[in-house]
Amino acid sequence: MGWGDLGAFGEPSKETPNLDQMAAEGMLFLDFYTANPLCSPSRAALLTGRLPVRNGFYTTNGHARNAYTPQDIVGGIPDSELLLPELLKKAGYTNKIIGKWHLGHRPQFHPLKHGFDEWFGSPNCHFGPYDGRERPNIPMYRDWEMVGRYYEDFKIDLKTGEANLTQLYLQEALDFISKQQASQQPFFLYWAIDATHAPVYASKQFLGTSQRGLYGDAVREIDDSIGKILKHLQQLGISESTFVFFTSDNGAALISAPKQGGSNGPFLCGKQTTFEGGMREPAIAWWPGHIPAGGVSHQLGSVMDLFSTSLSLAGLQPPSDRQIDGIDLLPVMLQGKLIDRPIFYYRGNELMAVRAGLYKAHYWTWSNSWEEHSKGIDFCPGQSVAGVTTHTQEEHTYLPLLFHLGRDPGEKYPLSFASEEYQRAMERISGLVQQHKATLVPGQPQLNVCDQAVMNWAPPGCEKLGKCLKAPESDPQKCSWPH
Amino acid sequence: MGWGDLGAFGEPSKETPNLDQMAAEGMLFLDFYTANPLCSPSRAALLTGRLPVRNGFYTTNGHARNAYTPQDIVGGIPDSELLLPELLKKAGYTNKIIGKWHLGHRPQFHPLKHGFDEWFGSPNCHFGPYDGRERPNIPMYRDWEMVGRYYEDFKIDLKTGEANLTQLYLQEALDFISKQQASQQPFFLYWAIDATHAPVYASKQFLGTSQRGLYGDAVREIDDSIGKILKHLQQLGISESTFVFFTSDNGAALISAPKQGGSNGPFLCGKQTTFEGGMREPAIAWWPGHIPAGGVSHQLGSVMDLFSTSLSLAGLQPPSDRQIDGIDLLPVMLQGKLIDRPIFYYRGNELMAVRAGLYKAHYWTWSNSWEEHSKGIDFCPGQSVAGVTTHTQEEHTYLPLLFHLGRDPGEKYPLSFASEEYQRAMERISGLVQQHKATLVPGQPQLNVCDQAVMNWAPPGCEKLGKCLKAPESDPQKCSWPH
């Protein structure tokens, strides 16, 4: 989902009454970022509070390449990483993930091995259908075991876009919340729905209800579900003791537009890029009685802050034996403070850009290669800024392109290198980059090796369902990451 | 000002608390249009309820050319046109215009000759400074007489952007409202501020207060002023008997960005073009106790509707001896109705595009000429959609480009000509166009002839001020309208 997909963020069809209401009752973050313009690394960063380059969710197979966890990925979240639910357990929390995990699908990466107590959802994207020979269909799990596969047991109609997955995820969420409330147990729910990821889907009751087509139908169903979750919290009388945060894992995938792609509002490009359209996210915090209603914050925030903020809410300290990139946003939300901190924009193993205050410096620019572009892969459709949305990887390390995101949110007008403003801003940013690089200890890259043998051929529980498939011989290869 | 310049419409700095509050207390129109992507024709349409091609505010000097009322324009609003204030007079209204008139500056076009009772403002844009030999500075009027000239008596500091004009206009508005309330007289106030038009300006107290630079300072001052006007109405106890509508006369002038240009949100291109960025406007209606708070409407609206709606509010009928393009929006605002009507997008003498429902058909596309573009004049900076943002005038009359503005508000993905959807939508639109063209009686074009002799050399009142200048010999020429 993109920054511009909610009514509260200026989507012209204004079809998200529940999320808009959530914002009216809570706090809107206008300058909130993901840690990576792609799903897996973003989610790894959310749960570890650390940049993908630290937690291992990146590749060194090529320079500045986006990588994630397809079925043939060998890696996943390392045991050495401490995930939010692992830490919350120490404070008595019951943790559930509903929806897409995406931090590795092999047994050692299973969410219940990394702090979650319950899971209903899938380890990978809902791509498919597959024939079960070249590639198995993605499994759905309930806790430790597979309960079926996409397209076989959990239908997604690629023609009509119909699938009732969001409704299943909603019911799971409501049931889990009810159960926790009944048992008076604190809980952490990671509601990781994926209806706006291509192939986009919505339930029958939402199909055709949006002005925006199927993508809008999916957004409306998500919006409706969030309204029901918040209402459920209120009806159970636990809204004032439940902190809720809504955000997305990367900008809208413009490559899937217009049928399956969303909007990044006035921002440049989309998913896969380190322009604002790829990294700036819709974000709303909600905690009635604590966060003042109708608040708006320009705090530079990150999905990694949800790690630190959640620990703070649970009365826990973040781990002190490692670098944590997230910060605690409670002073921002409860006291209206603004914390001065930079945003680092990574693509794979490269620091592409840095934001400090309203200034953003690009050290590298790249949309995608000419070769891909000539095949119709376009991360910036209809947009082209000379020297900025480049189709070759352009290095600007010695003279970064600098933008003022207040005057120029669309990253169209680089500041003059000769200006005093440029000098002043770059002095500050250079210091931040130096400090960042000097103390950076990159993690072991997890997204380098692919192997057909590790696909979801025979997930735990497959015997009971008669859904075990035979894996081919192991043949590890360097994964190919073209952009 | 552009669609994307208000917080309520998704401007990322969210610096318009008063307009956002006005929307929260009133009704937000998301699909509201001007009648022309340029100032003079738009304002002529607002006050006559008629398309510029009918009321004469267009040119036939070239095909599909934007034209307005610079100082050397010979034409202006014809006497045969009936302006809103002329009609409101019949219902006992006192009418005032504060700010830019822009419907012709020669004596016969004076606002007080066209129904206004009072005027404080200027007849043309605040361009300058001029030397008084080649070109006089633009006068400011109080009612019938000039009270000074821009840059001479009404300062605009082009270096700092400082000018206190919005404050003068605000005080005029508050005073007029107080006077009318005291005398229990109904009133029509046309508050035609122009601080966001290049050269953009703001008062000292607002300079440097916006994240967005000088343009944002100007927006903030306008926002603040509107807050004060609404508060004034409330304090005088007349808010429930005063209808207020906020909108703009064309999309943000991207050619002036980033320092002096605003935002058209997710829409394509800007001022001067008939893409959504040039024609779709921010729009808010406010009438406490009548228009439900927090309303949102997808009614296709037009500045021309303000003519018909205002007449309706005053209990008057629109003139029956001519075609009126505006419709009465009261059923939309008071009963939540949706009225099916098309939007016609004109550029000069050409019908460029038509919107019906969510479909928009382009019969002609043009951004501007290659010649102008090569000189750096760009109405779509950073945007380029092949075959759409064309630099030659492209005719699509026989096979219009069709967009679905719900799925594709950015006009990037024309529908397939072969699709059933295309056939169905074009059938409807073709009928509307046929009907429109068959009944169209074009007005006498007013913007064809220019003459240095008609400039503001010696406006009425100049003797008292010692500010009369000598006009050169009359030498009427065809005006040059390059885009």
Q: What is the CATH number of the domain that holds A100?
A: 3.40.720.10
Residue in A with minimal Cα distance to B265: A266
pLDDT of residue A271: 98
Of the pLDDT bands very low, low, confident and very high (cuts 50, 70, 90), residue A269 is very high
Residue of A nearest to B407 (CA): A212
Is residue A482 one of the residues assigned to a domain? no
Q: How does residue B392 score in pLDDT terms, banded at 50, 70 and 90?
A: very high
Query: DSSP code of A78?
Result: -
Q: Given the structure tokens 């929006």, which residue do they identify?
A: B329
User: Which CATH number covers residue A361?
Assistant: 3.30.1120.10
Which residue, of A439, A454, A473, is where some domain finishes? A439
- Which residues of chain B does A7 touch, with a Cβ-Cβ cutoff of 8 Å? 296
Q: Quick one: B273 and B357 in the same domain?
A: no
Distance from CA of A4 to the nearest CA of B (A): 8
Do residues A249 and A334 both lie within one domain? Answer: yes
Say yes or no: B219 and B367 in one domain.
no
Same domain for A262 and A406: no
Residue B378 in contact with partner chain A when CB distance is under 8 A: no
Band of pLDDT at residue A220, cut at 50, 70 and 90 = very high
Q: Could you tell me if A123 and A68 lie in one domain?
A: yes
Indicate whether B196 belongs to any domain.
yes
Choosing from B341, B366, B385, the residue where a domain stops is B341
Mean pLDDT of chain A: 98
Cβ A362 vs Cβ A273: under 8 Å? no
Q: Is some CB atom of chain B closer than 8 A to the CB atom of A265?
A: yes
**In angstroms, rounded to a whole number, what is the distance separating the alpha carbons of residues A377 and B252?**
31
Tell me: do A58 and A136 sit in the same domain.
yes
Pairing mode of beta strands B301-302, B27-33: parallel
* pLDDT over 70, % of chain B: 100
CA distance B68 to B38: 7
Catalytic-residue membership of A39: yes
Is A449 domain-assigned? no
User: What pLDDT band is residue A283 in, cutting at 50, 70 and 90?
Assistant: very high
For this structure, is B450 an active site residue?
no
Contacts of residue B216 in chain A, CB cutoff 8 Å?
406-407
**How much is the mean pLDDT over chain B?**
98
Co-location of A38 and A80 in the same domain? yes
- Rounded to whole angstroms, the Cα distance separating A400 from A421 reads 13
pLDDT digits (tens, 9 = 90+) for B296-317: 999 999 999 999 999 999 999 9
Encode chain B in three state secondary structure.
CCHHHCHHHCCCCCCCHHHHHHHHHCEEEEEEECCCCCHHHHHHHHHHCCCHHHHCCCCCCCCCCCCCCCCCECCCCCCCCCCHHHHHHCCCCEEEEEECCCCCCCHHHCHHHCCCCEEEECCCCCCCCCCCCCCCCCEEEECCEEEEEECCCECCCCCCCECCHHHHHHHHHHHHHHHHHHCCCCEEEEEECCCCCCCCCECHHHCCCCCCCHHHHHHHHHHHHHHHHHHHHHHCCCHHHCCEEEECCCCCCHHHCCCCCCCCCCCCCCCCCCCHHHHEEEEEEECCCCCCCCEEECCCEEHHHHHHHHHHHCCCCCCCCCCCCCCCCHHHHHHCCCCCCCEEEEECCEEEEEEECCEEEECEECCCCHHHHHCCCCCCCCECCCCCCCCCCEECCCCCEEEECCCCCCCCCCCCCCCHHHHHHHHHHHHHHHHHHHCCCCCCCCCCEECHHHCCCCCCCHHHHCCCCCCCCCCCEECCCCC
Average pLDDT score over residue span B334-350? 98
Q: Classify burial at A84, counting beta carbons within 10 Å of its beta carbon; exposed 0-12, middle 13-18, buried 19 or more.
A: buried
Q: What is the pLDDT of residue A467?
A: 97
Is B13 near chain A, with CB under 8 Å? yes
Cα(A277)–Cα(A117) distance, rounded to whole angstroms? 35
- Residues of B within 8 A of A359 (CB-CB) are none
How large is the average pLDDT for residues A53-72?
A: 98
- Point out the domain boundary residue: B290, B309, B341: B341
Q: By percentage, how much of chain A surpasses pLDDT 70?
A: 100
Residue A57 falls within a domain, yes or no? yes
Mean pLDDT of A163-170: 98
Chain B positions in Cβ-Cβ contact with residue A391 (cut-off 8 Å): none
Q: Residue B28: inside a domain, yes or no?
A: yes
Pairing of strands A359-362, A401-404: antiparallel
> Which of A259, A385, A404 minimises the CB distance to B382?
A385
Residue A472, in any domain of the structure: no
My answer on whether A259 and A380 are in the same domain is no
B393-450 pLDDT, tens per residue?
999 999 999 999 999 999 999 999 999 999 999 999 999 999 999 999 999 999 999 9
- Would the CB atoms of A298 and B211 count as touching at under 8 Å? yes
* A295 and A365 housed in the same domain: no
* Count of structural domains, chain A: 2
Q: Let me know whether A218 and A159 are in one domain.
A: yes
Rounded (10°) angle between helices B303-313 and B39-48? 20
Q: Is B258 in Cβ contact with A407 (below 8 Å)? A: yes
Predicted local distance difference test score (pLDDT) of residue A217? 98
Query: Which of B:327-366 have CB within 8 Å of A?
Result: 358
Note whether A173 and A314 are same-domain residues.
Answer: yes
- Do the beta carbons of residue A245 and residue A283 sit within 8 Å? yes
A119 within domain boundaries? yes
- Per-residue confidence at B193, pLDDT binned at 50, 70, 90? very high
Same domain, A298 and A404: no
Q: Evaluate whether residue B467 is within a structural domain.
A: no
- Which domain range does residue A101 map to? 7-341
| Residue A73, token pair as written in the block | 């990925």
| Full-model pTM | 0.97
- The owner of tokens 């040059």 is B480
ipTM: 0.95
The pLDDT of residue A213 is 97
